[in-house]
């Protein structure tokens, strides 16, 4: 048998056949839905009189529009209230499991899937959200899809797709202290470009990824799409299996052992072929911060903001556009840029280990006066576990607001928004113009620890100096 | 219901400058609080067109000369970012029927084809030619020919590229795959039954 990489194995196990246009009809084992991109799909099914074909394979939660500081419905935003009720009704009507706010299991879809044990190696997973690549951390092939494909998945549990090429990205060496998974993925995107991954699945590997926890792997896989790669994954290993064991939807008893054998078989074969291989030296990665309006516009904390002088004309235009929007000056150090808001949360960095790491550093520190700092757990379970460890008190004592689970300020489809041209140090995944709710709001992406350092000093800072670590 | 065979798109053009135009730029997230796609056309490029007080900015998208444009001409990596189908839906509902760009983000591209809105790639040199033409004469008719793989405008005939499967889907009237996906239910059941998980 020819050797294959994980992508090819998972693809082959789920391919139904070729469609007339040459695409593959791919079976999707787990379909995750949320309130923003599913209502239109349910509407289309109703119009066509089609049922949900495999309701037991679709799971829903509500995240984008949930207010993080209102406990009960009806929400003060009538549109948000209509959206949650629409999802609830669609799930009731079709038999889809809904992790509702009242269940204690609600949260950001890419936090909920893994923590429920729904995300498992060797699966195909899809969700109407581009950060679905997160689930690849488990050795699943996980695609972000549009609403028409959500409809296709509800109706048939399949979608039309082309296979992707696979680029192996090996990060080897030793990460410096204060350098996190977020810095690694920002560095990868900076190196390969914001569209370098178009047409590719990224296989993340090397000793750095081997040593990463599952939550760190999720942070990296989450941002694959920010580099243009629709899919990002890590081969499953003992850590993957240990993370899954005992979770509500993980196999149990004899089924568990069978599943682990299956899962192992999906790992990329040692001598398999890749369409491309990129090697990255871990020692070259520093705490990284974005300065521009897309996630590849990132530099290390010790670097200066790029200057439009002396570069090609196309690059000059994009630097000038970014500097103008960000109200930054090329050639100046990024360190010392004053901030207005600090946001810790999102499907990239809203998990328990993210909160634990920051909480372990901020004791004895205070958020600088005038800075609005919020912490938003990625799910109700993350929130509960954090509270059991007293993390909420650590954060509130330091001057952070402790909020309910949701997407919050990552995309501001809820009351958490920037105002005017506020600058936000953010642990989220996108720094697009207007992303955080104000058309002139400014976003700088970084690790949660760097966000905390900025909150405490009131400006973009090297967390290693702020926390003496 | 049979879908239209889309072999060409004809209309006037508008050039929206810049590379890496992301989905938040095409339609800001705050306008996605809706349970249908109806009315999304109104919010297309909202923050590019309007300032915070709701006044029109100085931008080609507000220029009455280009009001009837149905073909968008853009830079490279158009539609990057979110998977939101709201982005191509807002373009389509604002009257756009085709996009010419350097290249496209993958999810945006697929979503657009699913709506029957061709997205074709063209080199930067050729895009500059067509942009000049449109800027001189906004009324000039542009034809995106999916069969012959070129764009015709005035005296210009410029080559374009589109993924083979997308081209097949458009010209055969099969750009919405649902019917075909539904038709294979027995094979789907077989694959589902053979999987190691339920």
SS (H, E, C) A234-298: ECCCHHHHHHHCCCCCCCCHHHHHHHHHHHHHCCCCCCCCCCEEEEEEHHHCCCEEECCCCCCCE
Structure confidence by residue, pLDDT tens digits, B123-140: 999 999 999 999 999 999
User: Is B164 in CB contact (< 8 Å) with chain A?
Assistant: yes
Q: How far is B24 from chain A (nearest CA, A)?
A: 6
Q: Provide the CATH topology of domain A6-162+239-250.
A: Aconitase; domain 3 (3.30.499)
Q: Residue B158: pLDDT above 90?
A: yes
Stronger pLDDT, B63 or B1, i.e. the higher one: B63
- Least CB-CB distance to B178: which of A23, A151, A228? A151
For residue A157, what are its two tokens?
A: 């549990």
Q: Using the beta-carbon criterion (under 8 Å), do A23 and B85 form an inter-chain contact?
A: no
Q: Residue B192: name the closest of A27, A274, A64 by CA.
A: A27
CA distance A300 to A287: 6
User: Is B41 in CB contact (< 8 Å) with chain A?
Assistant: no
Mean pLDDT of A162-174: 98
Q: How far is B98 from chain A (nearest CA, A)?
A: 18
Q: Do A84 and A65 touch, CB atoms closer than 8 A?
A: yes
Q: Residue B1: pLDDT above 70?
A: no
CB pairs A-B closer than 8 Å: 211
- Least CB-CB distance to A19: which of B33, B164, B180? B180
For residue A102, what are its two tokens?
A: 């009242």
Q: Which pLDDT value is given to residue A242? A: 98
Q: Using the beta-carbon criterion (under 8 Å), do A25 and B181 form an inter-chain contact?
A: yes
Mean pLDDT of B14-23: 96
- Picking from A26, A118, A160, A347 by the largest number of B CB atoms within 10 A of its own CB, the best residue to mutate is A160
Q: Which pLDDT value is given to residue B2? A: 83
Q: Residue A310: pLDDT above 90?
A: no
Within 10 Å of residue B68's Cβ, how many Cβ atoms? Answer: 12
- Least CB-CB distance to A27: which of B164, B182, B192? B192
pLDDT band at A142 (very low <50, low <70, confident <90, very high): very high
User: Is B19 in CB contact (< 8 Å) with chain A?
Assistant: yes
Q: Provide the CATH topology of domain B8-194.
A: Aconitase; domain 4 (3.20.19)
pLDDT band at A1 (very low <50, low <70, confident <90, very high): low
Range list of β-strands (E), B62-149:
69-73, 98-101, 119-121, 141-145
Q: Tell me phi and psi for residue A271, to 5 degrees.
A: -105, 20
Distance of CA A106 to the CA centre of its chain: 16
Task: Please give the residue of chain A at the shortest CA–CA distance from B48.
Answer: A439
Q: Do B5 and B173 touch, CB atoms closer than 8 A?
A: yes
Q: Using the beta-carbon criterion (under 8 Å), do B178 and A54 form an inter-chain contact?
A: no
CA distance A456 to A193: 31
For residue A103, what are its two tokens?
A: 């269940």
- Picking from B178, B179, B185 by the largest number of A CB atoms within 10 A of its own CB, the best residue to mutate is B178
Q: Residue A250: pLDDT above 70?
A: yes
Q: Do A346 and A134 touch, CB atoms closer than 8 A?
A: no
Q: Using the beta-carbon criterion (under 8 Å), do A152 and B177 form an inter-chain contact?
A: yes
Report H helices in A167-252. Answer: 181-192, 207-211, 214-222, 238-244
Question: H or E stretch including B77?
Answer: none
For residue A417, list chain B residues with Cβ-Cβ distance below 8 A: 30
Stronger pLDDT, A423 or A2, i.e. the higher one: A423
User: A185-189, A242-246, B26-30: which range is least confident on average?
Assistant: B26-30
For residue B186, what are its two tokens?
A: 């027995």
Q: Which residue has the tokens 């030296």?
A: A281
Task: Please give the residue of chain B at the shortest CA–CA distance from A295.
Answer: B81
Which residues in A211-243 are b (16+ Cβ under 10 Å) and which e? Answer: ebebbbbbbbbbbbbbbbbbbbbbbbbebbbeb
pLDDT band at A71 (very low <50, low <70, confident <90, very high): confident
Q: Provide the CATH topology of domain A165-237+268-284.
A: Aconitase; Domain 2 (3.40.1060)
Q: Residue A313: pLDDT above 90?
A: no
Task: Please give the residue of chain B at the shortest CA–CA distance from A160.
Answer: B177
Q: Using the beta-carbon criterion (under 8 Å), do A16 and B115 form an inter-chain contact?
A: no
Mean pLDDT of A311-318: 89
- Picking from B102, B104, B106, B114 by the largest number of A CB atoms within 10 A of its own CB, the best residue to mutate is B106
Mean pLDDT of A369-375: 98
List the end-to-end C-alpha distance of chain B, in Å, as a whole number.
33
Same-fold call for A6-162+239-250 versus A288-466: yes
Mean pLDDT of A113-126: 98
Q: Provide the CATH topology of domain A288-466.
A: Aconitase; domain 3 (3.30.499)
Q: Residue A412: pLDDT above 90?
A: no
User: What's the mean per-residue pLDDT of chain A?
Assistant: 97
Q: Using the beta-carbon criterion (under 8 Å), do A413 and B36 form an inter-chain contact?
A: no
CA distance A61 to A47: 24
| Domain range list for chain A | 6-162+239-250, 165-237+268-284, 288-466
User: Is B128 in CB contact (< 8 Å) with chain A?
Assistant: no
CA distance A72 to A431: 31
- Picking from B3, B5, B20, B27 by the largest number of A CB atoms within 10 A of its own CB, the best residue to mutate is B20
């Amino acid at each position: 048998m020819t050797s294959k990489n994980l992508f090819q194995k998972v693809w082959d196990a789920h391919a139904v056949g070729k469609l007339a246009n040459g695409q593959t009809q791919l079976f999707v084992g787990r379909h995750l839905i949320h309130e923003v991109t599913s209502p239109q799909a349910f509407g289309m099914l109703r119009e066509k009189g089609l049922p949900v074909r495999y309701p037991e394979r679709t799971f829903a939660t509500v995240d984008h529009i949930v207010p993080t500081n209102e406990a009960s419905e009806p929400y003060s935003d009538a549109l948000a209230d209509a959206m949650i009720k629409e999802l609830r009704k669609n799930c009731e009507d079709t038999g889809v499991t809904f992790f509702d706010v009242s269940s204690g299991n609600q949260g950001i879809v890419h936090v909920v899937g893994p923590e429920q044990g729904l995300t498992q190696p060797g699966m195909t997973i899809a969700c109407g959200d581009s950060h679905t690549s997160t689930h690849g951390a488990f050795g699943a092939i996980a695609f972000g899809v549009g609403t028409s494909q959500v409809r296709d998945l509800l109706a048939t549990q399949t979608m039309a797709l082309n296979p992707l090429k696979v680029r192996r990205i090996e990060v080897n060496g030793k990460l410096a202290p204060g350098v996190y998974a977020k810095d690694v993925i920002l560095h990868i995107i900076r190196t390969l470009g914001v569209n370098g991954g178009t047409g590719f699945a990224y296989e993340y590997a090397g000793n750095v990824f081997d040593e990463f926890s599952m939550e760190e792997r999720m942070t990296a896989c989450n941002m694959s799409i920010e580099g243009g790669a629709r899919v990002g994954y890590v081969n499953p290993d003992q850590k993957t299996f240990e993370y899954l064991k005992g979770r509500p939807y993980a196999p149990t008893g004899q089924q568990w052992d069978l599943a682990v054998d299956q899962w192992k078989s999906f790992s990329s074969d040692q001598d398999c072929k890749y369409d491309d291989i990129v090697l990255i030296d871990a020692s070259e990665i520093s705490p990284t911060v974005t300065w521009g309006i897309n996630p590849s516009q990132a530099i290390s904390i010790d670097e200066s903001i790029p200057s439009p002088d002396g570069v090609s004309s196309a690059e000059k235009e994009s630097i000038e556009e970014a500097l103008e929007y960000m109200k930054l000056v090329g050639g100046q150090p990024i360190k010392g840029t004053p901030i207005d808001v600090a946001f810790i949360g999102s499907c990239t960095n809203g998990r328990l280990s993210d909160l634990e790491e920051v909480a372990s550093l901020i004791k004895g520190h205070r958020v600088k006066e005038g800075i609005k700092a919020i912490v938003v757990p990625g799910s109700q379970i993350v929130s509960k576990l954090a509270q059991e460890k007293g993390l909420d008190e650590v954060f509130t004592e330091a001057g952070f607001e402790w909020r309910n689970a949701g997407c919050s300020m990552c995309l501001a489809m809820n009351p958490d928004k920037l105002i005017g041209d506020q600058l936000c140090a953010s642990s989220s995944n996108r720094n697009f113009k207007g992303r955080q709710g104000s058309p002139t709001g400014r976003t700088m992406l970084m690790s949660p620890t760097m966000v905390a350092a900025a909150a405490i000093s009131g400006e973009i800072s090297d967390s290693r100096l702020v926390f003496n670590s | 219901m049979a879908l239209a065979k889309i072999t060409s798109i004809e209309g006037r053009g508008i050039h929206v400058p810049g590379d890496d135009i992301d989905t938040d730029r095409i339609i800001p997230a705050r306008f996605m609080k809706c349970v249908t796609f109806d009315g999304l056309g109104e919010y297309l490029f909202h923050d590019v067109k309007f300032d915070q007080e709701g006044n029109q900015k100085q931008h080609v998208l507000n220029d009455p000369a280009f009001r009837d444009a149905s073909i968008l001409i853009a830079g490279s990596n158009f539609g990057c970012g979110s998977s939101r189908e709201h982005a191509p839906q807002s373009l389509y509902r604002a009257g756009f029927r085709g996009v010419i760009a350097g290249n496209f983000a993958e999810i945006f591209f697929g979503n657009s084809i699913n709506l029957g809105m061709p997205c074709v790639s063209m080199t930067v040199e050729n895009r500059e030619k067509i942009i000049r033409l449109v800027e001189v004469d906004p009324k000039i008719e542009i034809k995106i020919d999916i069969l012959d793989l070129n764009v015709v405008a005035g005296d210009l005939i410029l080559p374009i590229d589109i993924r083979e499967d997308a081209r097949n889907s458009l010209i055969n009237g099969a750009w919405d795959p649902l019917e075909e996906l539904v038709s294979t239910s027995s094979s789907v059941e077989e694959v589902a039954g053979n999987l190691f998980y339920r």
